[in-house]
Structure 1
């Protein structure tokens, strides 16, 4: 390490904006308005490494509760890589999440390094890219609704089947994110799937896309896809072990552009990967 003072602190909002810019430079295509939702999840869960007065490294270690946390935004400015700054920040992040089962969606080439810190592979994710546009379909079974018309408690109850613990503050902010659209399908008055599409640096990402079956997922996907122009890109992050989800992306000519490895430090949580047709966000799980 340099003789200049290297110190780690909790990010300010401006620090997080800078980390989001770094993520964009890495090709991760962050959302335009993610910051409010991320901060809502855990305002103490974003760390930055400063070399003197210069921010050079970032990591997010969002603690959802005492049992579960998620790691992301692990970035070191290119000119400072391989000098120990990232490792020091990594250790500080793991210390903050001590005792938790920690999840991450890491780039595949870093899997070996993550294993050294106790992470084990659960499954891979594939980012698919395609074009927006198309008509809004009539749902095959059920009613398409704006999620604003569904009581939040009902949405949160449904969401808990897909996440290891409650994420109330994050979810409330995510559903209300500037520029986003959230829709669901109800059958006999019950929510059987929902999806969110938000604007990103490039096009739009659909996430999450949760549904009880592939037909419901397809209806939600098409309703959101139709909101983007045919000239705009849309992205869907799919667990590769969910073959109907992969088939949905392929059916609408989405192409794989990026992969990640979902890893955990402890047991694989009992979540409905088979009903996860789109991951919420690689940064926060």
Structure 2
């Protein structure tokens, strides 16, 4: 049967929930508030493709500014795969991000297809799965991020992402069913992290710290916010061997992996201080 053209348009806010629901069906385990947070990053960057009245394809193409964008939620309903519909919405996303260095976290088996569109591998990310709870005592250096000014947090965040994204950051740090914690050293913020409720358990992300010892203390404080019966996930750049060792020290095992790829030169990020990725969907 000849393929029909998709009708592709930006999603309405409530349609972002469709992308998150489909991501859950793919086993990607999104957070329960991800749709609301992601929508703040670029309200027109979520695209949906229809055949008639039926939505059959989604993609997010977050244009943070004129230099950097990120692709995620690239999903076609299973019964419509292999029919040429996915490539239509893919091209729409690339057109929307024209002129940007574009990043994505792709499933490893799709690397070759992304390379055809000009993406090159920067490094791999690994999703580690463990459990919540903690046997350690409360750490006096760990504080709620709400105790700190947005300016202090944004200044600490700045090196870890290619561009500033203050609206998304505020939404992410203040989402329901989450804990955002910082760790102080010499009265200065020396790391922070967020743990949020997901459809299955909790995810920690981001997890930033000035060194491995601080990252471990922060990780334990975040992990303790989930019950010991709950699964906890941490997405780490494989190139940060200290982050990999930290996850494995606490009995976490790899459950998933992605290829972080860019269309231009990979941004220079402090990967040795990046112990947990914020999001595979929007970077």
Query: TM-score of the superposition, structure 1-length normalised?
Result: 0.97
Unmatched segments (≥5 aa) in structure 2: none
Say yes or no: does 1:104 pair with 2:104: yes
Q: Deviations over 1:223-271 (max 9, x none)?
A: 0111111110000000000000000000000010000000000011011
SS in 2 for 1:270: coil
Deviation at 1:195, TM superposition (A): 0.3
Aligned length: 283
Checking the alignment, whether the CA contact within 8 Å between 1:137 and 1:219 is kept in structure 2 is no
Q: Deviations over 1:41-81 (max 9, x none)?
A: 00000000000000000000001111000000000001111
Say yes or no: does 1:160 pair with 2:158: yes
Task: Please give the alpha-carbon distance, in whole angstroms, between the structure 2 residues aligned to 1:262 and 1:278.
Answer: 14
Say yes or no: does 1:57 pair with 2:52: no
Say yes or no: does 1:277 pair with 2:275: yes
What residue is the counterpart of 2:16 in the other structure?
16
Task: Please give the alpha-carbon distance, in whole angstroms, between the structure 2 residues aligned to 1:204 and 1:20.
Answer: 16
Checking the alignment, whether the CA contact within 8 Å between 1:63 and 1:69 is kept in structure 2 is yes
Query: Alignment RMSD, CA only?
Result: 1.2
SS in 2 for 1:160: helix
SS in 1 for 2:279: coil
Higher mean displacement: 226-235 or 128-137:
128-137
Structure 1 residues 53, 5: closer, same or farther in 2, change over 3 A? Answer: farther
Say yes or no: does 1:267 pair with 2:271: no
What residue is the counterpart of 1:117 in the other structure?
117
Task: Please give the alpha-carbon distance, in whole angstroms, between the structure 2 residues aligned to 1:56 and 1:182.
Answer: 35
Checking the alignment, whether the CA contact within 8 Å between 1:5 and 1:52 is kept in structure 2 is no
Unmatched segments (≥5 aa) in structure 1: none
Task: Please give the alpha-carbon distance, in whole angstroms, between the structure 2 residues aligned to 1:136 and 1:77.
Answer: 45
What residue is the counterpart of 1:149 in the other structure?
147
Task: Please give the alpha-carbon distance, in whole angstroms, between the structure 1 residues aligned to 2:177 and 2:95.
Answer: 35
After the TM superposition, list the runs of 4 or more consecutive aligned residues in structure 1 that deviate by more than 6 angstroms.
none
Task: Please give the alpha-carbon distance, in whole angstroms, between the structure 2 residues aligned to 1:62 and 1:178.
Answer: 23
Checking the alignment, whether the CA contact within 8 Å between 1:70 and 1:284 is kept in structure 2 is yes
SS in 1 for 2:110: helix
Checking the alignment, whether the CA contact within 8 Å between 2:37 and 2:168 is kept in structure 1 is yes
